[in-house]
Amino acid sequence: MKFYLVDAFNDEVFKGNPAAVYVLTKWPSATTMQKIALEHHLSETAFTVKNGDHYDLRWFTPEQEIDLCGHASLATAYVLFNYYEPDATELHFQTQKGPLAATRQGDQYGLDFPSLMPEPIENEPTFAAAMGAKPTAAYLARDLFLVYDDAETVRHMQPDLAKVKALQNGLGVIVTAPDTTFDFVSRAFYPKLQVDEDPVTGSAHSNLIPYWAQRLHKRQLHAQQASARVGVLDCEWHDDRVTMSGRAVLFATGENTLDV
């Protein structure tokens, strides 16, 4: 089984978010895909199979299958556009979250994702204790979504990951704040999925884009995910959908010994 290792949402290797991508002719078992993801031990491994005029797409963390992942979708689009569909400018995917689309304009790859505005919740003291800084507001969708006033607080945050993992709210924790260079910055932590910090999280931007678009009264946004690897995203809010665009770069290709 051939795989590709792609760094997504940056144009330099060792930056952005790495994902493993498998383009297959048929599905392995879910158990096999989970074991492959654990073996790679990246935040996500993507598996895709062509199905008529679209590709079915699934994502696995080292811990479990998840229903939405942006950077591994962008990595998959990069692989398909460059190695399987060189004449295409648009690709369509079917996922657990429904249909998604990817576009290519030069070296920029765009993703069409659902807009998922998080709902406000009580700002519990456990959030500040886990993150090391008290948020000004708390929200919840799939992930806990914490808002801060200062981008430097987000950039320099050192959460207590054991406490983050113990939080009852959400699969992961997204922290975000306004910025002066970018419209907003964010970071994302998923210790429940064996991913202490996800370098660049496209699924988080399904929450971040509608939140900041409404707060800043603008539909086009420039964002930075301020992890150590750094990711940069151009974003746009379309009410019930969002688009996020970025670059990607191939780090390596390889082949495992499995035969499905």
Tokens 């290792």 map to which residue? 5
Among candidate residues 44, 65, 122, 236, the one labeled active-site is 44
Report in angstroms the alpha-carbon separations of 174 from 23, 30, 63, 185, 227: 30, 28, 19, 10, 12
Confirm whether 44 is a catalytic residue: yes
At CA 173, angle to CA 170 and CA 176, rounded to 5?
A: 135
Dihedral of CA 62/65/70/76: which sign?
positive
If one counts every other C-beta atom within 10 angstroms of the C-beta of residue 230, the result is 16
Query: Which amino acid is residue 88, in one-letter code?
Result: A
Q: Do residues 146 and 175 lie in contact, with contact meaning Cβ atoms separated by under 8 Å? A: yes
- First CA to last CA distance, the chain: 8
Neighbours of 235 (CB within 10 A): 22
Please report the beta strands in the chain, taking only residues with DSSP state E, as ranges in sequence order: 2-8, 17-24, 45-51, 54-60, 65-66, 90-95, 98-105, 108-114, 119-121, 137-140, 144-147, 173-178, 184-190, 195-198, 220-225, 231-238, 241-246, 248-255
Contact indicator for 103, 109 with CB cutoff of 8 Å: yes
Q: Which residues are catalytic?
A: 44
